[in-house]
Copies of this chain bind each other. A is one copy, B any other.
Amino acid sequence: MAGITILDVARAAGVSTSTVSNLLNGRTGRMLPETRERVESTIKELGYRPNRAARQLRTGKPQVIGLVVPSVGNPYWGALARYLEAAALTEGYHVLLCNSERDPARERQYVDELVSDGIRGIVLCSSLPSLEHVSGLLDDGLRLVAFDRTAQADDPVGLVNVSVDNAVGAELMGEHLVSLGHRRIAFLSGAIRSVNRTERFEGFLRALERAGIARPDVVTWPGSSGAEGAFGDVEAAELGRVAATELLAGPNPPTAIFAVNDMTAIGVCRAVRDAGMEVGRDVSVAGFDDIVLAELYSPRLTTVRQPMKEMAAAAFRALHGPDEGPASQGTSLLFRPELVVRDSTAAVVA
């Protein structure tokens, strides 16, 4: 099974460990084709597999990347984890999973820990607006990718941001809603604090402005209560429900509601039904993200898809690829969102 070392291989093939090591590390030019073949077949025969710990100890670089997410229990992060792992696998890398549970202290501790374990590449899905606390590590040679976040002015140098183009995505949805004849459209979100949400809101406004819809007709719900604290899956839906209920009971209710993400949209759907109306027919509801649930929900949710697989692959490449010098500093990688029209939005009825 295990227990076969590079020395065993070297002996069996009648060469030195260096030769085996050279072969293992792609320095094949340094040996006779004949030698190479012999060693290769010996490796296969013996079922030899290099010991990662030893390799890491020697090189300082483990074949592992770290992934820090709020919680893989959330399907959005689960999808990222899945695709990132798949991408890493193609290069023989493994993924160490860390759930921050949206606890900043825990998030920081995880990063520190990963670094001191020698890990040189981390995908961080931070709930913190500023990433200053990791800038020191970046100077130290750590490769850091911030996922689902776009670059900020005070970002540490060397940070790569991977995200969908939130503004464009929201704009697409705005256009869709407008083209359906909607004029009173609410943008529903918790407090628009995070970068993502701001971008989505602005993209949405852009679409409305282009359509000549006066800004006052746009309703936002800034989240009056402090109910946003925990911010888990269920909480996001609950927020959507409460806010939409309020909105719908108001004096001049919207004909369409664009929620900042799918979970919130699901809460909105419930509120619509609770108010005795039907989603799609009476009120259109749209989300953002296209989590698995969006397709499964009833009605199937119109939303904006993030190309998760491609984004995850890009995140891995940013960690693993060659250092691209200044170009890779403070960069954002924005991905093209896709409008997915399903059953929760429909033409406005006159």
- CA of A233 to CA of B75, assembled, Å: 11
16 contacts between A and B (CB under 8 A): A1-B137, A2-B118, A49-B116, A51-B57, A52-B117, A53-B54, A72-B72, A73-B78, A77-B78, A85-B99, A94-B96, A96-B97, A266-B298, A270-B298, A293-B293, A297-B297
B49, B78, B95: the one contacting A78 at CB < 8 Å is B78
A230 interface contact, C-beta 8 A: no
Return the 5 tightest CB-CB contacts between A and B, nearest first.
Answer: A78-B78, A53-B56, A73-B82, A49-B116, A53-B57
- A81 cross-chain contacts in B, Cβ below 8 A: 72-73, 78, 81, 97
Evaluate contact between A295 and B118: CB separation under 8 angstroms: no
Q: Which residues of B contact A234 (CB under 8 A)?
A: 292, 295-296
List residues of chain B with CB within 8 A of the CB of A62. Answer: 53
CB distance from A124 to the nearest CB of B (A): 16
Closest Cβ–Cβ distance, residue A134 to chain B (whole Å): 12
Q: Are B97 and A85 in contact (CB under 8 A)?
A: yes
Complex CA gap A233/B82 in Å reads 14
Compute how far the CA of A84 lies from the CA of B339 in the bound complex, rounded to whole angstroms.
36
Residues of A within 8 A of B (CB): 1-2, 49, 51-54, 56-57, 62, 64, 67, 71-75, 77-79, 81-83, 85-86, 94-99, 113, 115-118, 136-137, 140, 233-234, 237, 263, 266, 269-270, 273, 292-293, 295-298
Number of copies: 2
Q: How far is the CA of A116 from the CA of B234 in the complex (A)?
A: 40
Contact A296 B78 (CB under 8 A): no
Min CB distance A59 to B, Å, is 9
Of B75, B140, B270, the residue contacting A75 (CB under 8 A) is B75
Residues of B within 8 A of A116 (CB): 1-2, 49, 51
Residue of B nearest to A109 (CB): B89
Known contacts A73-B79, A78-B73; A1/B115 CB under 8 A: yes
Whether B296 lies near A266 (C-beta < 8 A) is yes
Q: Which residues of B contact A140 (CB under 8 A)?
A: 1-2
Closest CB of chain B to A168's CB: distance in Å?
Answer: 25
CA gap between A173 and B90 in the complex, in Å? 44
A18 to chain B, nearest CB (A): 19
Of chain B, the residue at the smallest CB distance from A66 is B94
Q: How far is the CA of A117 from the CA of B296 in the complex (A)?
A: 39
